[in-house]
Structure 1
Amino acid sequence: MFNIKIGFATVAMAVAAIAPAQEKTDFKSDLFGQEAQASVGELAPAQAPHKVTITNGSTSDAAAAGAGAAGAAQGAASREANNVVQSEFQKFLAENTGRSLPIFGSEFFANAPSTFAPVANTPVPSDYQLGPGDQLLIRGWGTIDIDYRATIDRNGSISLPTLGTISLAGVRAGQAESVIRGAVGKLYKGVTLSVTFGQLRAITVYVVGQAQRPGTYTVSSLSTLVTALFASGGPNANGSMRHVQVKRGGTVAAELDLYSFIARGDKSADIKLLDGDTIYIPPAGGFVALVGKVNSPAIYELKDGKDTIESLLNFAGGLPVVADPRRAFLERINAEKNHPRSVEEFALDAQGLKRPLKNGDVLNIISITPDFSNAVVLRGNVDQPVRAPFKPGMRVSDLIPSREYLITRGSVKRQNSAIVTGDNDRATNEAEGSIAGRIGGLIDPINWDYAVVERVNRSDVSVSLLPFNLGNVFSNPAGADNILLQPGDTVTIFSQADVAVPLDKRRVFVRVEGEVKVPGVYQMTANDTVQTMLAKAGGATSNAYLFGTAFYRETARREQQANLEKVADKLENQLRSEQVKGAANVREFSGSDAAVVQAQRQMQVDAAKESLNRFRHLKATGRIALSLDPNERSFSRLPQLKLENGDRLVVPAKPAFVNVFGAVNLESSLLWRPNSRVSDYLKSAGLTPDADVDNVFVMRADGSVVSAESKGWFFGSIGGLEVMPGDSVVIPQKFDRESRWTAFTRNTREWAQIFANFGLGAAAIKTLRN
């Protein structure tokens, strides 16, 4: 048997044949499923002595490797040559309108690949005509075994060992197997034959005219006009996409309108290329721009004098639903006139769509005005803002059929989440997390006395307000407050938080806690006072401590918190000022003294910043000092303070301790003793050497603060102040009076005023000292 193989010599011959083709550009197209390759030269059919088994090695891998190397060498140049260049019309449009628009269809070629690989594993059409360079894989079994890869030579034939030469030039792919079977059957009987195709031949085409990358291209013999255009990057900024021609043998073999292909997928004019074809891209016949509310705003090429607005809008995908067909503006260039540019306005009706377009036209399609001609709007403190259709005779009650429509989604959410959590945004006092703090907050209070209809007068483009009483709409539907609506009206409902109502019209829920007979949450009126609030709770118990009664108000808390933040900002500014002064004073020292002074000042700065940071974390409580006489025993002497929603009264039991904080040997809670004085507790706690006895102050159980400075007393006088159960005695530390930080530390020691003004208690002292 004869055994024919193509080894290293054949591979070397294949590489030699590929080398000349590297001067040509390689391309690959994934979009069309077709591939093209730079010429790989001719691989001479293998010649070998006759044997029963006819085989040869594969050369396609070597050929592909050579072609890949050639493509890599040209890839960078191809990508560089693909830079987008704007046409003069594009530049004109950008300069005069500020719009930078692409040419329609240019994005189709924006990502053209830089290489084309050989066709492999691609079905070959049955009508494909074989020619030099096409590769066939012939396998046979029976009286003779054949496994041979043959390439059609330049004479149009293949040579099979023991079989001789078989002419295949011009034979269609679907007939190749029968032709070869007939040749084999002349010498051998009973042979089963299979013929498939390997790598197909390459052909050379020329791309000329207004192309992005004009030149000579070696592509697959299966390539079509669109394939080659994609390989060349398509038309340039001035090239035509609507008159691309294939010239063959001195005549125009085909003319392709790329718009039909890109916009509609019509490839009927796309033909297969033959070796030596010339693709000619002529200059564009003119451009127009479609801007505004168009599905594909771009610059479009005119094909002939018959282009209309309708025909180009079809390529642009039509108009979006938001386009206003009643108004379109056409800007036109009239170079021969004194005024070279003009503008026209017309509707895009049947007549308007038939208007012809000229070179340089700019069609601007505007959007519709989002104005409802038959709607009224309900908004504000309602279940859900709606835009409802207007009906003749429509009134406010038709928009709001019942009071339930005024229950907001936030109210419903609070009701639904009541079993899990509550709305703590409104109450931030000492008991903000308790369930009692959430009582009465399920429904946003409605302003029943005032709602308004906004009405637009289109004749003079003005707005008028029509106020009405919302409560009367439900109590007296036939009354004047049930306003007759007009199209375009907007009805707004307010809550009591949107527009504050008088005190006597506000809802009032208060809490009474501690030493009262019936602690709880009570609904009161704005005319009620602390006494009526206490009476509704059944009065005080025998253990009630009148002097320590605490009254909290949410509005006071918000005001206190805002002022507390202002004080923090003031202290921070003062700290910065002292830092600047301290840094300037350090320059008066030199050497090691300067370093020591700098280190001391830095320690002071760090300590001050830490104290300031703790101060910023203090939270106002909203406590209002009742200024009661410590010896008062009757609750009837409580201030006649009118109630507000969210007020909280806490009546404590009489405590048995007095707190001592600050520069003492032992910070503790000491037992209260009748008729004991401040000096007695200072002796019990023991003063430290840095205790500032001149600035001792007492935080009383009723929320007030007593200091020597506030009363104009000396140490002996405040030392003789009688201490009540629950009072806190505070002894500040003494600071270096010669330090430049004296002003800052002195101001930060004025805690007596801060605690009194912001409702802070003993917990704040602990926070600042930690």
Structure 2
Amino acid sequence: MAVGDSSLSSTGVSKAPRITNQSLNQNSTADNAAFNSRSAAEDAHYFVKNKKQERSEFQNFVEYATGKQLPLFGEEFFSRPPSSFAPLQDTPIPSDYVLGAGDEVLIRAWGSVDIDYRATVDRNGLINIPTIGAVPMVGVKAGEADAVIKSSIGKLYRDVAVSVSFGRLRAITVYVVGQARKPGSYTVSGFSTLVTALLVSGGPNLTGSMRNVQVKRQGKIVGSLDLYSFIAKGDKSHDVKLQDGDTIYIPAAAGYVALTGKVNVPAIYELKSANESVASILDLAGGVPVVADPRRAFLERIDPNKSQPRTVEEFSLNQAGLTKTFKNGDLLTVASITPDFSNAVTLRGNVNQALRVPFKAGMRIRDLIPNREALITRASVRRQNGSVIHGVNGDIDDKGLIKENAASISANIGNLIDDVNWEYAVIERVDRATLSVSLLPFNLGRAMDNPESEDNLRLQAGDAVTVFSQNDIQVPVAKRKVFARVEGEVNVPGVYQMGPGETIQSLIAKAGGTTSNAYLFGTEFYREKVRQEQQLNLEKAVRRLESQSRTENAKAAANQSGAVDAQVIALKLKAEQEASAQVLAKMRELKATGRISFGLAANDENFDKLPALKLENGDQLVIPSRPDFVHVFGAVNQEASIIWRKGMTVEKYLADAGPTSEADMDGVFVLRPNGTVASSAGRGWFSSINSVEIMPGDSIVVPDRLNKETPYKVFTNGLKDWAQILSGFGLGAAAIKTLK
């Protein structure tokens, strides 16, 4: 029971003698603490804190030999501040703790006598209880104290209940000597053990032994402790309970060895004796992991008596190898297993699942690839599932996932399956004798169609079979799938599968021909490969313009240095720089369309005039209806879409729109529905853009007049030049308007 428990403040027995002392009115819990020397603990903490900065000569040698910093096994045990290991307040007293002089005993008894008394064991081993007398306590264990005191009280009083607890316990002084990190005397609690004292003192130094720490008492060794057994296995059976005056002696270590490579705990280990076996040290290291190769262990040894003191030997960690004995300075490296398989065949590439299967005698291609369905890739399955789950809009990315903001599901028609290259697959085979690689190509289609085909090759252990898609290795045009889309003014818009060599005219024919509203001049044709090329060129153009802008702005700033109105000029330059930066930002947002301009004449009305362009997979043909409007935008009083009238020229439309005073009339250009640009450039002395007849769907662009002295003018050079550039990227009126 705890001291001060109110349930023991009275016994309920009338007229019982009451024996107390004033000290029992205080709660003695706070007194039940370990006695440590504050200065000693602080000193030990300093050494522990700086321990990681210290390295032994052998540790430095191992790092030089292996390139790795290995810890000394067990040093982490002493890496925490010693106060973390000091006995805490209210720690239960072990039942086998032997009482001695200075220990405080709290006695409560009730019944025929009422006792509430604190007694201290004197140097004679006695406690004196008033009316009871002296009670011998020296040598009595804590668990026996109740019975001893009850027996003494029972000689005088009957029917007495006794409860004994403990207050302040005696402190003892022990001495730590030898190869200690911080030798000296330490005051510790009376029930401290060898382990707790080592923790308080910081343990052995860099050359001190962890495996043979001794406790000496009155000149004799009363116990020794192998800390490795405790740290590695939790064996504390040899821990020694300390007594006042004990000496803890830490001898020098017998030697050290290093374990590296595939061992569970790579570290430097202390040898307990001069003939310790490989097995015993590996046991301390937790053995070797499953990826270790027990057939290949390398032992490096130092013999200072030889002219070349370092040697190495290879052996297996079998029964004979494990019995080998270490010598001081040995370095053991356990190799890793090689990751290759002795009996595997690998399938990879354009397959449903990459496989590594066990090789069997007589195994062939068809045993590895049982059917064609095994070649439906996971990306294809995701695209199929995505089409069902999402139902409508959704372009598929290269991972087979649905892209957001897709134009329409028609763009995905024909792309559910990654087409296999049936003409070419290959076996890679390694000759282990020469480490040479040979390729065995075969026709996958024939192997799948006929098990008796010579293309159904026989496999060997270690073979890797790779299947390709038609995107991995391009097949001839005649063997590629072609799905082309036609929409707009045709009788049956849709996606059509085209044969090898078929052209735009063939696509229109499959769509039932054009309608009476078809507008040949505005025909649009898009190709993905062209879009990718255009996008790369567009990005190069933006980078080139960025560089030009920086150069021109730097020149302008240099030319204006030292000017009187420098502040005004600086503000002007800043505005010009911001303007060019805004245009560049807009250009970065532009995306190439992949449009191919056919350059049709305005008077062409026969679709046979379209080029006989062979179709590729993903091609898109858009035949618009004849528009009713002409668009005018830029430096005009009112941007508008004006009804088209036959025979009207640029000049007449501009007269209707009304150019502003800032309009650059020499830079006017026309974006035409056929994808071309018309401007005054190259039209001769007596011809200008003003006389060009406007066709339905034309867009007339009027640029602003720019100050020719500003870097922004040099940078842009007017939208009239940009129009020529941007038309080469498949960009139309919308892009020009964005940049306006």
Q: Which of the residues 468, 471, 475 maps onto 1:501?
A: 475
Quickly say closer, same or farther: Cα 1:536–1:66, change in 2 above 3 A. Answer: closer
Give the C-alpha shift of residue 442 in structure 1.
0.7
The amino acid of 2:583's aligned partner reads S
| Structure 2: gaps spanning 5 or more residues | 5-15
2:63 is the counterpart of 1:94: yes
Q: Which residue of 1 aligns with 2:25?
A: 57
Quickly say closer, same or farther: Cα 1:431–1:511, change in 2 above 3 A. Answer: farther
Q: Which residue of 1 aligns with 2:198?
A: 229
Q: Which residue of 2 aligns with 1:22?
A: none
Pairs within 5 Å for 1:561-580: 561-580=535-554
The amino acid of 1:99's aligned partner reads K
Q: Which residue of 2 aligns with 1:30?
A: none
Pairs within 5 Å for 1:721-732: 721-732=692-703
2:732 is the counterpart of 1:761: yes
Q: Which residue of 2 aligns with 1:739?
A: 710
Check whether the contact 1:204–1:217 (CA below 8 A) recurs between aligned residues. yes
Separation of aligned partners in 2, 1:440 and 1:317: 59
Quickly say closer, same or farther: Cα 1:115–1:404, change in 2 above 3 A. Answer: closer
Give the C-alpha shift of residue 678 in structure 1.
0.8
Give the C-alpha shift of residue 452 in structure 1.
1.1
Give the C-alpha shift of residue 345 in structure 1.
1.7
Pairs within 5 Å for 1:419-568: 419-421=388-390, 422-425=394-397, 432-568=406-542
The amino acid of 2:184's aligned partner reads G
Q: Which residue of 1 aligns with 2:336?
A: 367
The amino acid of 1:328's aligned partner reads A
Q: Which residue of 2 aligns with 1:585?
A: 559
Quickly say closer, same or farther: Cα 1:610–1:630, change in 2 above 3 A. Answer: same
Pairs within 5 Å for 1:344-363: 344-363=313-332
Check whether the contact 1:429–1:622 (CA below 8 A) recurs between aligned residues. no
Q: Which residue of 2 aligns with 1:708?
A: 680
Per-residue CA distance 1:439-484 (angstroms, 9 max, x = gap): 1111111111111111112222111111111111112322222221
Check whether the contact 1:54–1:146 (CA below 8 A) recurs between aligned residues. yes
Give the C-alpha shift of residue 429 in structure 1.
13
Give the C-alpha shift of residue 418 in structure 1.
0.8
Separation of aligned partners in 1, 2:102 and 2:720: 100
Check whether the contact 1:121–1:198 (CA below 8 A) recurs between aligned residues. no
The amino acid of 1:78's aligned partner reads A
Separation of aligned partners in 2, 1:439 and 1:314: 64
Give the C-alpha shift of residue 383 in structure 1.
0.4
2:687 is the counterpart of 1:719: no
Separation of aligned partners in 2, 1:739 and 1:609: 14
SS in 2 for 1:114: helix
Quickly say closer, same or farther: Cα 1:119–1:659, change in 2 above 3 A. Answer: closer
Per-residue CA distance 1:634-656 (angstroms, 9 max, x = gap): 22222111101111111111111
Check whether the contact 1:119–1:220 (CA below 8 A) recurs between aligned residues. no
Per-residue CA distance 1:63-117 (angstroms, 9 max, x = gap): 469968x63x555432212232322222222233323212222222222523765
Per-residue CA distance 1:309-331 (angstroms, 9 max, x = gap): 11211111111111112222111
Separation of aligned partners in 1, 2:476 and 2:596: 22
Pairs within 5 Å for 1:246-257: 246-257=215-226
Separation of aligned partners in 1, 2:212 and 2:240: 14
Answer with 544-553 or 572-581: which moved more. Answer: 544-553
Separation of aligned partners in 1, 2:698 and 2:205: 91
Give the C-alpha shift of residue 714 in structure 1.
5.4
SS in 2 for 1:571: helix
Q: Which of the residues 609, 632, 648 maps onto 2:581?
A: 609
Give the C-alpha shift of residue 173 in structure 1.
2.5
Q: Which residue of 2 aligns with 1:412?
A: 381
SS in 2 for 1:418: helix
Q: Which residue of 2 aligns with 1:596?
A: 568
Q: TM (normalized to structure 1)?
A: 0.89
Give the C-alpha shift of residue 737 in structure 1.
2.4
Separation of aligned partners in 1, 2:84 and 2:641: 89
Q: TM (normalized to structure 2)?
A: 0.92
Separation of aligned partners in 2, 1:603 and 1:115: 66
Give the C-alpha shift of residue 135 in structure 1.
2.1
Q: Which residue of 1 aligns with 2:664?
A: 692
Separation of aligned partners in 1, 2:166 and 2:720: 98
Check whether the contact 1:75–1:115 (CA below 8 A) recurs between aligned residues. no
The amino acid of 2:472's aligned partner reads D
Give the C-alpha shift of residue 735 in structure 1.
1.2
Give the C-alpha shift of residue 182 in structure 1.
3.1
The amino acid of 2:482's aligned partner reads V
2:288 is the counterpart of 1:319: yes
SS in 2 for 1:623: coil
The amino acid of 2:202's aligned partner reads G
Q: Which residue of 1 aligns with 2:7?
A: none
The amino acid of 2:495's aligned partner reads V
Separation of aligned partners in 1, 2:637 and 2:183: 97
Per-residue CA distance 1:319-368 (angstroms, 9 max, x = gap): 11111122221111111122211111222222121111111111111111
**Could you say what the CA RMSD is over the residues aligned between the two structures, in angstroms?**
2.4
2:46 is the counterpart of 1:80: yes
The amino acid of 2:675's aligned partner reads G
Check whether the contact 1:118–1:199 (CA below 8 A) recurs between aligned residues. no
Aligned length: 716
Separation of aligned partners in 2, 1:713 and 1:753: 18
2:142 is the counterpart of 1:170: no
Give the C-alpha shift of residue 753 in structure 1.
0.8
SS in 1 for 2:387: coil
Give the C-alpha shift of residue 161 in structure 1.
3.5
| Structure 1: gaps spanning 5 or more residues | 6-49
Separation of aligned partners in 2, 1:137 and 1:647: 98
2:619 is the counterpart of 1:647: yes
Quickly say closer, same or farther: Cα 1:398–1:524, change in 2 above 3 A. Answer: same
The amino acid of 1:80's aligned partner reads Y
Separation of aligned partners in 2, 1:689 and 1:715: 24
Separation of aligned partners in 1, 2:311 and 2:85: 48
Give the C-alpha shift of residue 278 in structure 1.
0.9
Give the C-alpha shift of residue 550 in structure 1.
1.0
Quickly say closer, same or farther: Cα 1:75–1:684, change in 2 above 3 A. Answer: farther
Separation of aligned partners in 2, 1:559 and 1:210: 76
Give the C-alpha shift of residue 741 in structure 1.
4.2
Quickly say closer, same or farther: Cα 1:742–1:607, change in 2 above 3 A. Answer: closer
Q: Which residue of 2 aligns with 1:146?
A: 115
2:261 is the counterpart of 1:292: yes
Separation of aligned partners in 1, 2:91 and 2:34: 20
SS in 2 for 1:417: helix
Check whether the contact 2:486–2:494 (CA below 8 A) recurs between aligned residues. yes
SS in 1 for 2:670: strand
Check whether the contact 1:57–1:149 (CA below 8 A) recurs between aligned residues. no
Quickly say closer, same or farther: Cα 1:344–1:745, change in 2 above 3 A. Answer: same
